[in-house]
Amino acid sequence: MLLRVNRNCPWNQCLFCPVYKGKKFSARSVSEIKGDIDALRRVGDLLGKVSWEVGLTGRIKKEAIEALIRNYPEVYGAYPLNVTPPQWLALQTLYNMGNWLAHGARRVFLQDANALFMKPGDLIEVLHYLKKSFPSIDTITCYARSKTGERRSAEELRELKDCGLSWCFVGIESGCDDALDYMKKGAKKKDHIAGGHRILDAGISMAAFVMPGLAGNDRVLSRKHIQETAAVLNEIKPTEVRVRSLTVLESAPLYPKWESGEFSAPTEDQMVEELRSLFNGITFDCTLETLQMTNVFTVKGPLASKREFLLGKIDRYQALPPLERARFLLDRYLYEGYLAFIQYCGKEDARLQALIEEARMSLEEQSDDAPKKVERAIFAIKSKGIP
């Protein structure tokens, strides 16, 4: 279940991030949030009641949802033929709630960015009310900034943990101050370490997000970025490390800097090498997750058991001749779901189609410039969005 405790992002300056740009941050009041929880509770109670009426003995299935829609046409409309925009929103909430209840009503994510920014006393009150309203909840997660974690007292964080806050997802991105400063992350290496320790010491699990490619195509800065990122992770020892390789999105402030030549984007080969260095540089065990499709290789599991598996895949990739590496990369982004996502979002345009066709033809002809053309096509695909 997604529960919005604030609107947008209180920092909202990171160059690589397009989310919330042009939107103003605002905190939601405790009474507003409690109102949402009450509304969800009412929907849940109605679904449970209808489930018994249709013979499902309390189980939440499609039949119960459809019966509830029929019982309240003023709320949900005459689905699917005659539905107003507000009724579509009510239907979306109903289906989301039904799905959540059907899966045990266990997990909640607090939105938007940096829910930890909320006043600790207010957040504690919300968590108490949430757990009282839905006793089945066993996992509550949120995004958090390192500096916010650093600013919270040990007592505040421990009380949040005691009230049910299970995980904080923290965007470390890099341990290199040069890269962090350029990207306007608003935090430095010392902030990441201090905030990470504060969160973990309270007993809250932490997933640290890191970003190969963040230092661009500067090879010296790239090595420093990965070395210092690994060093920061080794110092913090987060529960989980999540890898999200850099994508220069058209909708992000970084894109005009790339267009002007101020920022030189890393190649796919460079980001693969950064992955190798990162995996070799981490000296503690944790869960490693690289499932986002911006990464060439995806895996999830204990680093101790997955490290050699991943390094072996990287070895085999790097041993390929340049044309075969280019073919592997193009096939990945064309046929493993990335392009399909772009097409689904309606973002495939004539320029992108031309770049893809040019890359395909260059591979068929085994042209010397095929790797460069493939690189341009992949960059254009990824710049449209992230699955």
Residues 98 and 115 both lie in one domain: yes
Where a domain ends, among 296, 321, 346? Answer: 321
244 & 317 share domain: yes
Tell me: do 132 and 266 sit in the same domain. Answer: yes
Hey, what are 210's tokens?
Answer: 């890191």
Residue 14 pLDDT level (bands cut at 50, 70, 90): very high
Q: State residue 132's pLDDT score.
A: 97
Regarding whether 378 and 279 lie in a shared domain, the answer is no
Average pLDDT over residues 265-291: 97
Alpha-carbon distance 195 to 144, whole Å? 10
Instruction: State whether 228 and 150 are in the same domain.
Output: yes
pLDDT attached to residue 61: 94
What's the pLDDT tens digit per position in 141-196? Answer: 999 999 999 999 999 999 999 999 999 999 999 999 999 999 999 999 999 999 99
Residues 357 and 310 in one domain: no
Positive or negative: CA dihedral 78, 79, 84, 87: positive
* Residue 327 domain boundaries: 322-387
Half-sphere exposure of 99 (CA within 13 A, CB side): 9
Mean pLDDT of 290-295: 95
Instruction: Output the pLDDT for position 78.
Output: 87
Please indicate, yes or no, whether residues 241 and 340 belong to a single structural domain of this protein.
no
* Full-model pTM: 0.94
> Is residue 256 domain-shared with residue 133, that is, in the same domain?
yes
pLDDT in tens, 106-133: 999 999 999 999 999 999 999 999 999 9
Which positions ≥6 away from 25 have C-beta within 8 Å? 6, 7, 8, 9, 10, 12
Separation between Cα atoms, residue 60 and residue 66, nearest integer Å: 11
Q: What is the pLDDT of residues 294-320, one digit of tens each?
A: 999 999 999 999 999 999 999 999 999
Q: What is the pLDDT of residue 154?
A: 96
pLDDT tens profile 230-275: 999 999 999 999 999 999 999 999 999 999 999 999 999 999 999 9
Reported as a single tens digit per residue, the pLDDT across 20-33 is 999 999 999 999 99
Residues 155, 254: one domain?
yes
Q: What integer pLDDT is reported at residue 81 of this predicted model?
A: 82
Kindly state whether residues 246 and 357 are assigned to the same domain: no
Number of domains present in the structure of the chain: 2
Assess whether 215 and 101 both reside in one domain. Answer: yes
151-161: pLDDT as tens digits? 999 999 999 99
Query: Of 304, 321, 338, which one is at a domain's C-terminal end?
Result: 321
User: CA-to-CA distance for 11 and 184, rounded, in angstroms?
Assistant: 10
For residue range 64-107, what is the model confidence (pLDDT) as tens digits? Answer: 999 999 999 999 998 878 899 999 999 999 999 999 999 999 99
